[in-house]
Structure 1
Amino acid sequence: MLTVDFERLGLRPGERVLDMGCGAGRHAFEMYRRGADVIAFDQDADELDGVRDLFVAMEQEGEVPDGAEADVKQGDALQLPFADGEFDRVVAAEVLEHIPADIQAIRELVRVLRPGGTLAVSVPRWFPELVCWKLSDDYHDTPGGHIRIYSDKELVGKVVGAGMGFEGKHHAHGLHAPYWWLKCAVGVTNDRHPLVRAYHRLLVWDIMRRPLLTRAAEAVLDPVVGKSMVLYFRKPDAA
């Protein structure tokens, strides 16, 4: 399930890219499949072990173009272990809402991006996220959970304030917002509730099959209740 639009990001084969806060690696895998030189970065060693294993499996199965490379790196988002301007593209998907010092993390993303490079940032969208917070304290009041709800104005301001130019935005995962509202209403951990199980089967079917019905539904729902807000930025060219 991809959140970032790589056409809008401008990703091209052979470029060096960073997936900061990669989690299970969904965006890193797609960028690798598109021929990029990928670094999947996270603080969770167990997650990175799984990402590394799948990188190897993708190469062995011939799912990536010749010359594409991928690796993992563990570390702190507030002190990225990379040189200034090292990456052509940077992705930070669904991670900033977890980081208390988000401005410092944003500055690090900008620092490691080359002049002229592009950055995609996604976070939970303000209204769908607010509904979840209102319905359930357990949704966000957990160690490592969401600590803030961004408006588009706030996040754009923080990234532009770090030296980037705003390029545009879109919303994604309109089918997922009602699913999380339902989970919050019946209990976030109550995965055995019949309505939750039924909705989860629908989402799995959508992810695996991408049928015309759900694609049309998301095209209608994304602008209204899309669960994720995706913002695109460009770093000014060097003088």
Structure 2
Amino acid sequence: MQTVDFRYFALHPGERLLDLGCGEGRHAIAAYILGDVHAVGVDLSHGDLVTARSRYQEFAEPDNTCKRLDLTAASALALPFADATFDKVICSEVLEHIPDYRAALMEIRRVLKPQGMLCVSVPRRWPERLCWALRKQYHLVPGGHLRIFRRGMLRSEIEHRGFVGYHSHGAHALHAPYWWLRCLFWKTVETNWLVRQYHRLLVWDMLQQPLFTRTLEKWLNPVMGKSVVMYFRKEAAA
């Protein structure tokens, strides 16, 4: 399930892309598939990186020297890369987990080339607030969400660090009710009939891509998309 829309984040041959907080590799692998790029996925979870490596094998093109994917464990607060290493950085559903997210933004700025592009996504404020209200454990579990962002405030914070925003959109509107249901039926989530049926609907939608649900989500994304996705370009140094 991709959050980044590569129509607004075009990949060019020979570019280096960092997927910061890559998890199980959805965006790093997508970038590898879509373009002749060197994609690098970074995450703190060894288990997620193992899963990402396994998923990548299905798409690996070892004889294609124009593309490459690497995965490594590292902290967003101390990235093991030189200044101005990457042409593009993706930071999707990560900042809400990091205590010092401002330091992570500065690391992103450091490793991104001048005129490089950044895509950031975070949970939309009102669907996230509803999850917090329905079940406090939702954000108190280890690795849970530490904060709820205001889109305008986060955009301003990023722009004040030398970026210019050029596009934004919502994503995954059909997933918002699923998380509300999970919170509502927290104690029986694994066996609850309604939760399981809605999950089946989401899996069917992702695999089959039917016109009705794709169109419905497109209409709903600006209002209740579970994620807010923002795109920036790093200003050249004065």
Normalised by the shorter chain, which TM-score bucket? Answer: over 0.9
- Does the aligned pair in 2 maintain the 1:119–1:234 contact within 8 Å? yes
Aligned to 1:75: 74
Aligned to 1:59: 60
Aligned to 2:14: 14
- Measure the CA separation in 1 of the matches of 2:199 and 2:57: 30
- Does the aligned pair in 2 maintain the 1:9–1:118 contact within 8 Å? yes
User: What SS does the aligned partner of 1:7 have?
Assistant: coil
Aligned to 1:156: 155
- Measure the CA separation in 2 of the matches of 1:125 and 1:188: 25
Deviation at 1:229, TM superposition (A): 0.3
User: What SS does the aligned partner of 1:24 have?
Assistant: coil
Aligned to 1:37: 38
1:222 aligned onto 2:221 = yes
Deviation at 1:66, TM superposition (A): 5.0
1:204 aligned onto 2:194 = no
Deviation at 1:238, TM superposition (A): 3.6
User: What SS does the aligned partner of 1:59 have?
Assistant: coil
- Measure the CA separation in 2 of the matches of 1:196 and 1:65: 43
Amino acid at match of 1:232: Y
Aligned to 2:173: 174
1:129 aligned onto 2:137 = no
Alignment of 1:66-145 (within 5 A): 66-145=65-144
Deviation at 1:171, TM superposition (A): 0.3
Deviation at 1:81, TM superposition (A): 0.7
Count of paired positions: 237
- Measure the CA separation in 2 of the matches of 1:201 and 1:49: 26
Does 198-207 or 150-159 show the bigger shift? 150-159
- Does the aligned pair in 2 maintain the 1:33–1:65 contact within 8 Å? no
Deviation at 1:197, TM superposition (A): 0.6
Amino acid at match of 1:197: R
- Measure the CA separation in 1 of the matches of 2:140 and 2:102: 21
- Measure the CA separation in 2 of the matches of 1:188 and 1:162: 42
Deviation at 1:188, TM superposition (A): 6.4
- Does the aligned pair in 2 maintain the 1:18–1:38 contact within 8 Å? yes
Amino acid at match of 1:43: L
Deviation per CA, 1:22-67, whole angstroms, max 9, x where unpaired?
A: 001111110000122110000111211222233333225x8x9652
**Cα pair distance change 1:213/1:16, threshold 3 Å:** same
Q: Percent same amino acid among aligned pairs?
A: 47
* RMSD after superposition: 1.5
Deviation at 1:189, TM superposition (A): 6.0
Deviation at 1:9, TM superposition (A): 1.5
Q: Which 4+ residue blocks in structure 1 deviate beyond 3 angstroms? A: none
- Measure the CA separation in 2 of the matches of 1:170 and 1:189: 33
Amino acid at match of 2:121: S
Aligned to 2:25: 25
**Cα pair distance change 1:188/1:10, threshold 3 Å:** farther
